[in-house]
Amino acid sequence: MRAELAGLRESALAEIAACHSEGELEAVRVRYLGKKGSLNAILRGLGAQPPAERPAMGALANEVKEALVAQLDARGGALAAARLARGLTENRVDVTLPGRTRPRGHVHPLRAVEEEVVDVFVSMGFRVAEGPEIEDDFHNFGALNFPPDHPARDTQDTLFLAGDDRLLRTHTSPVQIREMRRSKPPLRVVVPGTVYRRDELDPTHSPMFQQIEGFMVDEHVTFANLKGVVVHFLRRLFGPATGVRFQPTFFPFTEPSAQFDISCNACGGSDAPDPACRVCRGRGWLEIGGSGMIHPNVLRAVGYDPEVVQGFAFGLGIDRIALLRYGLDDLRLFYDNDLRFLGQFPF
C-alpha cells in the first residue's frame, strides 16, 4: 500500500502541474480525490493490512491527500489569476473612445395633444373613461338615435366584422352610452380613443383616426353650459384671444346641434382673413368639432327621464387639432412612422 500511495502522489502531482484550465484541474481532483477516486479506492484496502501497520498507512494517506489538496489550490489560484489577466487584456475597454448614444423614445405627437386636451377637461372636473373599439349596433348606432336607414350604417362608412352585427366603432359616442347605462347623474365625462371609418388615406382623411368626446348630464343643464365649457376649452388650447362661433347643424344624437369653429390662427382670422391662407382657405374660420344637447331619445335609451335630467355632448378630432397646433397640412405624417418626422417632437 505504501508503494501505491507513493505512486498515486507522484502521478497526481504531475497531472495537476500539467493542467492548463480550471476544467482540467477539476477533472483531476475528481479522479484522485472524488468519492470514487483513486485515493479512496486504495483506502478501501486498508482493512486488509496487518493491524500494526494500519495507523501508519492511514497517516500516510492523509499526508498524500493534504499534499494533493494544497497543490490543487495553488494550481487553481494560478489558473484563475491567468484567466483574469487574459480577460483584462482581451476585453480591455478604451475609455478614451467616444460613447455610443442610444436614441430615446418619446410620446407620439398625437398622444401628446390628446394628453393636453384631456388635462384641460380634467381641470374642469371631467373624469376620463374608455371603452371597446369593437362595438355592436346598439351602442354605436341604435342607442344614439340613428334610424335603421341612416347612411352612416352603410358599409361605405362603417367597417363591419364578418358574421355578426359587430363593427369597428365609428366614433367614441358608444362610451357615452355605456357610461350613462352604468352610472346615474350627475356625470361629467371625457372619452379619448381611436375610431374607424371606410375612408381612403389622403392628406385630410384616414381610415383610423383619434377622437375625443365629452358629455355632461345633470338637472338643469343648458346650451349655455355647453358653450361655456367648449369656449373655455378652446381658449385654453389655442390662446385667450381665439374667436369661437357656433353654427346650427344636425346630428341624430343631439337636438339642437351645433358645429363650433375657431378663428384661423395662421392668418388674420375672422377679423382680417387672408385669401391666400392655406389653412382656412380665406374663410377666416376653422371647423373644430360638433356639439349639442343630448337628444331625449338617447336619454330614454339609457334609462334616464328627459323630463328630469338634461345633458350636452361634444366631439372633436385630435388629428385635426394636432395639424393646427403644428402648422401641418397632411394627416398622413402622423401615421407613416417616419422617425425623421417624429424626431421633431421630443416631448
Compute the distance between CA of residue 266 and CA of residue 244 in angstroms, rounded to an integer: 15
Selection from 59, 48, 10, 3 nearest residue 32 by Cα: 10
Terminal-residue alpha carbon distance, the chain: 82
Task: Say what the pLDDT of residue 347 is.
Answer: 63
Which are the contacts of 212, defined by CB distance < 8 A and separation ≥ 6? Answer: 114, 117, 118, 172, 190, 191, 192, 193, 315, 316, 318
Instruction: Express as a percent the part of the chain with pLDDT over 90.
Output: 44
Give CA torsion, residues 177, 179, 184, 190, to 10 deg.
-110
For 188, other C-beta atoms within 10 Å of its C-beta total 18
> Which of helix, strand or coil describes residue 142?
helix
Looking at residue 172, its pLDDT comes to: 94
Rg, the chain, Cα only: 40
What gap in Å lies between CA 293 and CA 82, rounded to an integer?
82
Between CA 108 and CA 305 the distance in angstroms is 42
pLDDT at 155: 65
Predicted local distance difference test score (pLDDT) of residue 339: 87
- For 38, left (φ over 0), alpha (ψ -120 to 50), or beta? alpha
DSSP character at residue 248:
E
> What's the confidence (pLDDT) of residue 232?
95
Strands (E), 28-106: none
| pTM exceeds cut of 0.75 | no
Nearest to 114 by CA among 327, 325, 344, 318: 318
At 298-344, the pLDDT tens digits run 999 999 999 999 999 999 999 989 988 888 888 899 998 888 888 88
- How far CA 185 is from CA of 39, 189, 190, 218, 230, in Å, comes to 88, 11, 15, 5, 20
Dist CA 70 CA 79 (whole Å): 14
DSSP 336: S
Is residue 213 within 8 Å of 195, Cβ to Cβ? no
Q: What is the pLDDT of residue 67?
A: 86
Residue 329: DSSP 8-state: -
Mean pLDDT (10-residue bins), the chain, 347 residues: 79 88 88 79 69 74 84 90 86 81 85 94 95 92 87 77 86 95 94 91 87 95 96 92 92 94 77 74 85 96 94 94 86 89 80
